[in-house]
Amino acid sequence: MRFAPTPAAAPDDPLAGARYRVFTDLPGNEPSAAISPDGKFVVFIADIDGPDDVWIGQVGSTAYRNITKGTLGKGRAAGFANGGSDIWFGSKPFSPLRITQLMGGSARSFLGDNAGGPQQ
């Protein structure tokens, strides 16, 4: 007599019934993006003005604000921290992560200077 395992029930799809919208229709590349925990903002890396920069926009708006203004280098990733009140970002290769307030301010080192990986 052989017993076959009972197949597990498929998990519910958390995106079932979700509505999708295009957030940007900007020229260039946008390789990384994150949605704020409250769903009101999107932060993304894009090369809109030439070099990679970190941009933020409000969901439902077509206005975007450049956070890094040419100081990012080659963008790696960006996201939200502290419940969405801060934005973190990093660049390649192995630069320290930086953090700034959602509504503006100076970027500062986040997690120390070696958090981005080995220094070259």
Summarize the confidence of residues 26-35 as an average pLDDT.
84
d(CA 60, CA 40): 8
* Bridge partners for 56 per DSSP: 43, 65
Instruction: Say if strands 74-81 and 64-66 run parallel, antiparallel, or are unpaired.
Output: unpaired
Look up the CATH number of the domain holding residue 52.
2.40.10
Domain total of the chain: 1
Which one-letter amino acid corresponds to residue 38?
Answer: D
At residue 119, the pLDDT reads: 46
Asked whether residue 114 is assigned to any structural domain, the reply reads no
pLDDT at 1 over 80: no
Report if residue 120 sits inside a domain: no
Domain assignment of residue 93, yes or no: yes
What is the amino acid identity at position 116? G
The answer on pLDDT for 116 being more than 80 is no
* pLDDT digits 0-9 by tens, 53-110: 899 999 988 899 998 888 888 878 899 999 999 999 888 776 788 888 887 778 888 7
Structural contact between residues 110 and 99, judged by C-beta atoms closer than 8 angstroms: yes
- Residue 81 · residue 115 · CB < 8 Å: no
Domain hosting residue 80, numbered range: 32-109
Does 67 fall in a domain?
yes
In this structure, is residue 80 part of a structural domain? Answer: yes
Round to whole Å and give the CA distance between 60 and 45: 18
- Tell me whether residue 6 is in a domain: no
Q: What is the pTM of this model?
A: 0.73
